[in-house]
Chain A
């Protein structure tokens, strides 16, 4: 018998000991970061960077497979008791000695998770993690000349790259409203002083938004540089157009922070993605009725919101609780009670 099958059998026996729970339910009590556990991390410190941005130092669980500079991770944080998931770029280098990783978070107005992480997260808190992902990364072969074009918190994946990999010739053009809004300002100026980086700060509060045509003046050889750009959609759209117009589109890599805003309204187009049906619904008809009328097989129960027999994943869009008016937006793992929820804008129900 191989050791793997032996381990398998031992685990089966252990499951018989702990049923109906799993051995991991008990192990999680003492060692939530162990190998084999669901991937989690423990917040060890939160360092302020600017007035509204902080770096969160996380000790990841043993299952963490590391990352490539420029990638992001999805993190599940309990805010007011409710688990919310967001994606943040990793700002630590890949070879950090202590095995910790950092994300740097900018508090966005009304952002539940970002404000929580920047202002309230306490060391010792457990967070849920997913493995690093994203293809906004550096190539295997080192390019001779590099341009980083960033704005606001768009600096975060690029900071991960800067801390990770040295290039002979690097230019960073970074936009922020005011000098004090520049995240990592001291470190960037330090790199520039050491000659590892040529830095141009654009202060949009006084100079206005960056016109990409100005790159001719700021970085005359921009079209020869392999470029990584990250920032608001407006900047990235303009950059893509500009690079394409000059026939160097393949040198430009962009990373978009997809906005979490969902269109909400009264009623909307409801997609039942498992069945492949789409129907229009008003803002007052329960989605259970909408689905049944469309011929979708919907689980149902008490039809008054008390039995939780009709809960179904909400994959996209938003719904309104017909009893409280509360809006629920789609996030991975979010289940809604279809008998007391109506469409609040276009939405996708996994049925």
Chain B
């Protein structure tokens, strides 16, 4: 948490006005949503399926190094597309308005070991409602890391650069454990809770299917290319995991992003909620290809303001949102991927060590008392 509240100069009226302006941006996109957007997501889904199919096909011959290389690269990209631009966004309900039961948040299942419904609960509901509120938003450090000066330091945190690296490599398993709230639920009494057991079984089933597909069936289908195919799918999963982890870390961890105290969201207005999303998220700048491969989570700020707007609209929304940041003199945290990843990692390392308490609490944001 920064020592000085970066929103202190805004009056309560200004914050509500900001909320209305953001609502207007949202309404504009919703009124304009249509055929082209639907065509976009259908095209992406179809391209992902074709790419995955072709890559798996090439990997049948992965005994030959060029085939291994091409197949692994293709499969990595296909898996990233499935999780990022398609899965994450469909599961947000971004495409529910199309009323196509096959591209719908209630029916979609992704290439990931965490079952969609569990992820939707921990991500859509907990993370997006309580963005960056310490103690409520477990995405802040996923419960295994300290990501803010205000969080209590414990000797355990010394190892967090290592936890973070391990988490990056096995990110989908980390997410599944996180969605299960595994740490909290492994206590003796909670472990027996039938609801937890049912969810754990669902994760077990999903893991079994995913592992069977990637590490048994497809290698077996490859015959003499069994081992290279196994290595290829492992690599593709690793690439996808490290990539998603990096992108997602850039969303809320880089320097300049604010976190909030539990008390600060009591009686939060619409405008204050918007402001918290603005100050609690960070973007990644880059080319169109970059935005696509991040599932448009490079527009994390816009995504947090409007989690249910179709992802292909974030780029145009970003221009208007950024203008509002300027108008209200707020810092729009953004930067190229390497810079943001480095910034996030530096924070992880820095906060693995204890620090002195800051002076001013950001929970006073938006109060006129502080308007100087």
Q: Is the CB of B99 within 8 A of A333?
A: yes
Using A20-B110, A82-B98, A302-B129 as known contacts, say yes or no to A29 and B46 having CB atoms under 8 A apart: yes
With both beta carbons as reference points, the residue of chain A lying nearest to B33 in the complex is identified as: A81
- Whether B99 contacts A301 by the Cβ 8 Å rule is no
Contact among B46, B99, B128, B206 for A334, CB-based, below 8 A: B99
Confirm or deny: B285 has a beta carbon within 8 angstroms of a beta carbon on chain A. no
A324-342 interface mask toward B, CB cutoff 8 Å, 1 = contact, 0 = none? 1010000101110100000
CB pair B217–A16 under 8 Å, yes or no, is yes
A21-B49 in contact (CB<8A): yes
B197 near A: Cβ within 8 Å? no
Whether the pair A324, B98 counts as a contact (CB closer than 8 A) is no
B residues 282-301 touching A (CB-CB < 8 Å): none
A83→B125 contact, CB < 8 A: no
The stretch from B36-44, B238-246, B255-263, B347-355 touching chain A is B36-44
Asked if A304 is at the interface of the complex by the 8 Å CB criterion, the answer is yes
Evaluate contact between B36 and A81: CB separation under 8 angstroms: yes
Q: Is A26 engaged at the interface, CB distance under 8 Å to the other chain?
A: yes
| B49→A29 contact, CB < 8 A | yes
A307–B39 contact, CB under 8 A? no
Within 8 A of A (CB), among B16-45: 23, 26-27, 30, 33-39
With a cutoff of 8 Å between Cβ atoms, the chain B residues found around residue A326 in the complex are 30
Assuming the A-B contacts A16-B213, A335-B106, are A302 and B99 also in contact, with contact meaning beta carbons closer than 8 angstroms in the complex?
A: no
| Docked-complex contact B34 and A80, CB < 8 angstroms | yes
The answer to whether A301 and B124 touch across the interface, beta carbons within 8 angstroms, is yes
Which residues of A36-94 have CB atoms within 8 Å of chain B's CB atoms? 78, 80-84
- Which residue of chain A has the shortest Cβ distance to B103 in the bound complex? A83
A305 part of interface (Cβ distance < 8 Å): yes
B49 & A302 in contact (Cβ 8 Å cutoff): no
B5 at the interface (CB under 8 A from A): no
For residue A19, CB closer than 8 A to chain B, the reply is yes
Determine if A307 and B98 form an interchain contact, defined as CB atoms under 8 angstroms apart. Answer: no
CA distance A179 to B209 in the complex (A): 64
Q: Is the CB of A26 within 8 A of B53?
A: yes
Given A301-B124, A333-B99: A16 touches B212 (CB 8 Å cut-off)? yes
Docked-complex contact B120 and A306, CB < 8 angstroms = no
CA distance A324 to B106 in the complex (A): 23
Q: Is A308 an interface residue (CB 8 A)?
A: yes
Name the CB-closest residue of A to B210: A19
Tell me whether A292 is interfacial, beta carbon within 8 Å: no
Assign chain A's interface to a size class: 20 to 34
Q: Are B97 and A82 in contact (CB under 8 A)?
A: yes
Binary interface profile of A, 291-331, with partner B (CB < 8 Å = 1, else 0)?
Answer: 00000000001101111110100000000000110100001
C-alpha gap A156/B212 in the complex (Å): 54
Task: Kindly state the separation between the CA atoms of A333 and B206 in the bound complex, as whole angstroms.
Answer: 27
Instruction: Name the residue of chain A whose CB is nearest to the CB of B129.
Output: A302
A311 in contact with B49 (CB, 8 Å): no
In the complex, B121 has a CB within 8 A of chain A:
yes
How close is B279's CB to chain A, nearest CB, in angstroms?
17
Q: Does B191 contact A (CB under 8 A)?
A: no
Q: Does A17 count as interface, using CB distance less than 8 angstroms?
A: yes
Query: How far apart are A233's CB and chain B's nearest CB, in angstroms?
Result: 28
Interface string of B161-176 (1 = CB under 8 A from A): 0000000000000000
Contact B98 A19 (CB under 8 A): no
Binary B-proximity of A86-120 (CB < 8 A = 1, otherwise 0): 00000000000000000000000000000000000
- Complex CA distance for A79 and B35, rounded to whole angstroms: 7
Closest CB of chain B to A63's CB: distance in Å? 17
Interchain CA distance A333-B100 in the complex, whole Å: 9
Pair B121/A81 contact, Cβ less than 8 Å:
no
Q: Check B37 against A81 for contact (C-beta < 8 Å).
A: yes
Enumerate chain B residues within 8 angstroms of A302, measured Cβ to Cβ.
124-125, 128-129
Binary contact readout B123-150 vs A (1 if CB under 8 angstroms, 0 otherwise): 0110011000000000000000000000
Are A309 and B98 within 8 A (Cβ)?
Answer: no
Contact A308 B38 (CB under 8 A): no
A16, A17, A81, A324 — most chain B CB neighbours (10 Å): A81
Question: Nearest Cβ distance between residue A143 and chain B, in whole angstroms?
Answer: 43
Judge if B366 is at the interface, Cβ distance under 8 Å.
no
From residue B229, how far is it (CB to closest CB) to chain A in Å? 13
Given A20-B111, A29-B50, A306-B308, the answer on whether A82 and B99 have CB atoms closer than 8 Å is yes
Beyond A16-B217, A20-B109, whether A309 also contacts B125 by CB under 8 A is yes
Kindly list chain A residues whose C-beta atoms are within 8 Å of the C-beta of B125.
301-302, 307, 309
Known contacts A20-B111, A309-B124, A25 near B217 by CB under 8 Å: no
A81–B98 touching, CB < 8 Å: yes
Whether the pair A309, B97 counts as a contact (CB closer than 8 A) is no
Q: For residue A17, which residues in chain B have a CB less than 8 angstroms away from its CB?
A: 213, 217-218, 221
**When chains A and B are docked, how far (Å) is the Cα of A80 from the Cα of B31?**
11
Inter-chain CA distance A84–B99, complex, in Å, is 8
Is B228's CB within 8 Å of the partner chain A?
no
CB of B93 within 8 A of chain A?
yes
Identity of the chain A residue whose Cβ is nearest the Cβ of B101 in the assembled complex: A333
Which residues of B (55-106) have their CB < 8 Å from a CB of A?
A: 92-93, 96-102, 104-106
> Are A309 and B121 in contact, with the CB atoms below 8 A?
yes
Tell me whether A307 and B36 are in contact (CB under 8 A): no
What 4 A-B pairs have minimum CB-CB distances, sorted nearest first? A81-B38, A308-B93, A307-B124, A20-B109
Binding site for A on B (CB under 8 A): 23, 26-27, 30, 33-39, 46, 49-50, 53, 92-93, 96-102, 104-106, 109-111, 120-121, 124-125, 128-129, 206, 209-210, 212-213, 217-218, 221, 273, 307-308
> Can you name 19 A-B pairs with beta carbons within 8 Å?
A16-B212, A18-B213, A19-B210, A20-B206, A21-B49, A26-B49, A29-B46, A83-B98, A83-B99, A301-B124, A302-B128, A306-B124, A307-B124, A307-B128, A308-B105, A308-B308, A311-B96, A311-B106, A333-B99
Given contact pairs A17-B217, A82-B98, enumerate 20 new A-B contacts (beta carbons under 8 Å): A13-B217, A16-B212, A18-B213, A19-B209, A19-B210, A20-B111, A29-B49, A78-B98, A81-B37, A81-B38, A81-B39, A301-B121, A301-B125, A301-B129, A304-B129, A306-B124, A306-B308, A311-B105, A323-B26, A333-B99
